[in-house]
Structure 1
Amino acid sequence: MSISRLISLALPFFLCLCFAVPTVRADNWAVRVLERSMTGSLGLPVPTHPVENRPTADKIRLGRKIFFDRRLSLNRTMSCGMCHIPEQGFGNHELQKAVGFEGRSLRRNAPTLVNAAFYETLFWDGRETGFETQFISPLLAANEMANPSAGQVVALIEELSDYDGAFEQAFGQPVSLHRIGEVLAAYQRSLIAANSPFDRWRFGGDTNAISEQQQRGYQLFTGKAGCSQCHQIGETSALFTDNAYHDTGYGWMREHERQNPPSHHPVEVAPGVVFHVSRKQIDDVSGPSLPDLGRYEVTQNPADSWKYRTPILRNVALTAPYMHDGGFAKLRDVLDFYNRGGASHDQQSPLIRPLGLTEAELQDLEAFLQALTSADFAELAREARVEEPDNW
């Protein structure tokens, strides 16, 4: 038998080994996801669904398909899942700031979508009020999916044969812009992961679920460090956000750095491998760095300058990099920033102050944050890959 014949016989088997996703069956995954979407998870309240968009298995299945369909961008290369990568917590570990159409950089980090169902507003600046409309701006933004119009996307789905009958099955009606939003919303609201060691300890009554060090970290989190003032913990559940906007000093600090860039910038090309690249070299290959005024860009109220929404801290150990622009690579970087009192500029929130935490206390606090990792986190990625993404 020829070598080419052997390769032709072996290739399909090799591809199956590379791309098969075990443990999640394609025939019933959406039904299980629907149940989770309606009942929640230990440590979280039951998600709220709009009356006009109650989730169904058909909506969730169709929303997942659209989420990963790269054909729905102008050059057929970008999808929601290109920035919100399931295996990376529906965020992106490799990039500080998201990269979209033809390699164009965005100003901000692609945050995790896990548990985003519990946000009252969306995006770092809260400019959207719900998933049903949130998808439109990435579809049309020139540096994201770059479509010339929303109508073009609707027309494209009408033309694609693998969508034949899908919206009719989910709604009894054909594809439309608002129905695209509804299925994407149904899928994204199903990305729920709690049931962490902390939840089992705090809400499940398992006194051994977290270590003594993590318990000390919890006392710091709710006490001396003051983290829970914004990352709130309730009596029966914990969102780890107040759904409010705060000037922590970080945004102001980054704007100061933008206006006064250092002569060299550290670039980490591999873990622990850092090159110090000159500012001229960076400027030669990049576009101009743009200002980011946070919530002010939505409200036009000067008091909202450099305010950003409090992120949910669940699974935070798995969702680096941190802050609105991904400027901190490690949790310890974040803790050190807050321990020294932020950037200490005039308009910084009074909640941000020097904490005086010792090295041992910082280690305890970081250990507690590790206890917020959900036992169900990896299951979301397996469900996302249960069916082949379109336009592979």
Structure 2
Amino acid sequence: MSYRIAAACLLASVLAACQRPDAGHPARLDTSANAAAMTPNAPLGLPPLPAADGDPATPARIALGRKLFMDRRLSHNNTMSCAMCHIPEQGFTSNVLATPIGVEGRSLRRNAPTIFNVAYVRELFHDGRESSLENQVWGPLLAANEMANPSTQHVTEKIKIMADYRHLFEAAFDGRGPTVETIGAALASYERTLVSGNSRFDRWYFDRQKNAMSSAEQAGFKVFSGKANCIACHSVGEKSALFADGRFHNTGIGSRGGSAQKHSVQLAPGLVVQVDDQLLQSVSEPAQTDLGRYEVTHNSAERWSYRTPSLRNIALTGPYMHDGSLATLEDVMAFYQRGGIDNPHKDPLIKPLHLSAAERRNLIAFLHALTGDNVEQLKNAARAEPLDKEIPQSNFNQQ
């Protein structure tokens, strides 16, 4: 639901104050003609990375992509960057807002998904409407309520006249300047480096380190893979685990909007007020409809179905669900404990769990064991200077 523009702008400015713009800082990129192609290593617990569309990444392309990712000038009015919704310090999502705020305080209808391990996602966005990162990155750049650029040409021409991008594209892409293809490839190259595994679960399950997880976490995995049957959608293989099945499911969220009489509105981190529905409606735009996967397929059976998110780093990436309506893992647990929300198309896998209090605590403990061991490294790399140093070389195989 959208709130008053003034309040939204205030929240956006608070978030903006936490961001360091890259404008005005000349990039020091690897422009060596012999720069080796690089692909991230797949850490323990993750399968080999899928091949990128088009040319492979190089250090120069990755560094250029990071610069673009952090640059507010890529939005129409120079205020929004990719990192304003996918905040490195907040699990590459936004822990502050259920749904992000875009240009001029315009509200978005869906939660900002984390981009940890996005290299493995084959159907992107919550509804799966894009199939490659190179194409996906243009969605936010052109969306009227996100970065609000009027066209791809507007973005490319804008970058061409920025002094600190002079020659960077040419150096990274064999003489090619900023185009739809090279901008998409640079951003995708950086996002594919955000690979995070080797969690305590991985060391316990795949590397057979008996003490890598606590007894409560081990009991939680038994619930996860047994009584609660979370594993039916958040799959675990013999040699690796994406904790996502790549499919779309209807849990009921989104099927019944506007039923709450009071709403929790977060004014700032740690400051939440309860607002009556009638008052909120009086200062809000009409709620945007959201039919999930149906909007892509027009298959009525897929109304309110959304892509299964990975559970890796889940303790860092709240709020949860496609609309950010569940603030904590405890809220998510309570939602599934009662069997989701009934509607004609609810997935038959979603049933009341009948878990005891101890089983619920153990299950949540297990979810905390899915945090990768390089989260801090990736966060620090995102903010690093100079721009040719942000990706640790140990993260890559030379090819």
Q: Shorter chain as normaliser: what TM range? A: 0.7 to 0.9
Question: RMSD value over aligned CA atoms?
Answer: 2.3
Inter-CA distance 219–46: structure 2 relative to 1 (3 Å threshold) = same
1:273 and 1:137 mapped to 2: Cα distance? 32
SS at match of 2:40: helix
Deviates more, 1:275-284 or 1:325-334: 275-284
1:168 aligns to 2:170 (yes or no): yes
| Mapped partners of 1:86, 1:30: distance in 2 | 26
Answer yes or no: is 1:121 the counterpart of 2:104: no
Q: Which residue of 1 aligns with 2:257?
A: 257
Q: 1 CA distance for matches of 2:75 and 2:269?
A: 32
The Cα shift of 1:37 comes to 3.8
| Mapped contact 1:30–1:60 kept (Cα < 8 A) | no
Change (3 A) 1:279 1:388: farther
Q: Paired residue for 1:69?
A: 71
Matched residue, 1:317: 315
Alignment of 1:92-131 (within 5 A): 92-131=94-133
Structure 1: how far apart are the matches of 2:270 and 2:191? 35
Query: 1:112 deviation in Å?
Result: 0.5
Letter of the structure 2 residue corresponding to residue 289 of structure 1: A
The answer on 1:364 being equivalent to 2:362 is yes
2:265 counterpart SS class: strand
Q: Give the C-alpha shift of residue 29 in structure 1.
A: 11
1:73 is aligned with what amino acid?
Answer: S
**What is the CA deviation profile of residues 269-323 of structure 1, one whole-angstrom value per residue up to 9, with x for unaligned ones?**
4677543212233123321111110000111111110000000000000101000
Matches within 5 A, 1:25-104: 37-50=39-52, 52-104=54-106
Q: Tell me how far 1:235 sits from its aligned partner.
A: 0.6
**Structure 1 position 344, deviation (Å):** 2.5
Candidates 191, 196, 200, aligned match of 1:193: 196
Aligned equivalents of 2:37, 2:200: Cα separation in 1? 22
- Kindly indicate whether the alpha-carbon contact (under 8 Å) linking 2:85 and 2:112 is maintained by their aligned counterparts in 1: yes
Matching residue's letter, 2:311: L
Question: Residues of 2 paired with 1:143 and 1:37: CA distance?
Answer: 33
Task: Please give the residue correspondences for 1:264-343 in structure 2 after superposition, counting only pairs within 5 Å.
Answer: 264-269=262-267, 274-343=272-341
How many residues in Structure 1 have an aligned counterpart in Structure 2? 359
Secondary structure of the structure 2 residue equivalent to 1:151: helix
Cα displacement (A) at 1:148: 1.2
Cα offset, 1:168, TM superposition: 1.1
Gap regions ≥5 residues in structure 1: 1-17, 20-25
Query: How far does residue 35 in structure 1 lie from its aligned partner after superposition?
Result: 9.0
Q: 2:59, 2:361 → 1: CA distance?
A: 43
Q: CA deviation at 1:62?
A: 0.4
Quote the residue 1:210 is aligned against: 213
Q: For 1:197 and 1:163, locate their aligned partners in 2 and report how far apart those are by CA, in whole Å.
A: 41
Deviation of 1:52 (Å): 1.9
Distance apart, 1:158 and its partner CA:
0.8
**2:24: which partner in 1?**
none
Alignment-mate amino acid for residue 338 of structure 2: R
Q: Deviations over 1:139-174 (max 9, x none)?
A: 111101111111011011111111111111111122
The offset of 1:268, in angstroms, is: 4.3
Q: 1:36 to 1:380 in 2, by over 3 A?
A: farther
| Whole-angstrom CA distance in 2 between matches of 1:388 and 1:267 | 39
Amino acid in the other structure paired with 1:244: R
Asked if the contact 1:68–1:79 (Cα under 8 Å) also holds between the matched residues in 2, the reply is yes
**Contact 2:53–2:134 (CA<8 Å) still a contact in 1?**
no
Larger radius of gyration: 1
* Counterparts of 1:283 and 1:345, CA distance in 2: 25
Kindly provide the CA deviation profile for residues 103-124 of structure 1, in whole angstroms up to 9, marking residues without a partner as x. 0000000011011111111100
Identify the residue that residue 230 of structure 2 maps to in structure 1. 227
The aligned runs of 1:367-378 (5 Å cut-off) are 367-378=365-376
In 2, are the aligned partners of 1:295 and 1:307 still within 8 Å (CA)?
Answer: yes
Contact 1:36 1:190 in 2 (8 A): no
Q: Deviations over 1:86-145 (max 9, x none)?
A: 001110000000110100000000011011111111100001111111111211111011
TM-score by length of 1: 0.87
Other-structure match for 2:244: 241
The structure with the largest helix share of the pair is 1
> What is aligned with 2:155?
153
Amino acid at match of 1:111: P
- Give the structure 1 partner of residue 391 of structure 2: none
Relative to structure 2, which stretch is displaced further, 96-105 or 37-46? 37-46
3-state DSSP of counterpart to 1:168: helix
Normalised TM-score (structure 2)? 0.85
Tell which deviates more after alignment, 271-280 or 228-237: 271-280
Distance 1:272 1:155, change over 3 A: closer
Which of the numbers 372, 385, 388 marks the counterpart of 1:387?
385
SS of the equivalent of 1:251 reads coil
Q: C-alpha separation between the residues in 2 aligned to 1:142 and 1:51? A: 27
Work out the CA distance in 1 between the residues paired with 2:31 and 2:330: 37
Percent identity over paired residues: 49
Cα offsets for 1:189-223 (capped at 9, x unmatched) = 11011111001111122110000110000011111
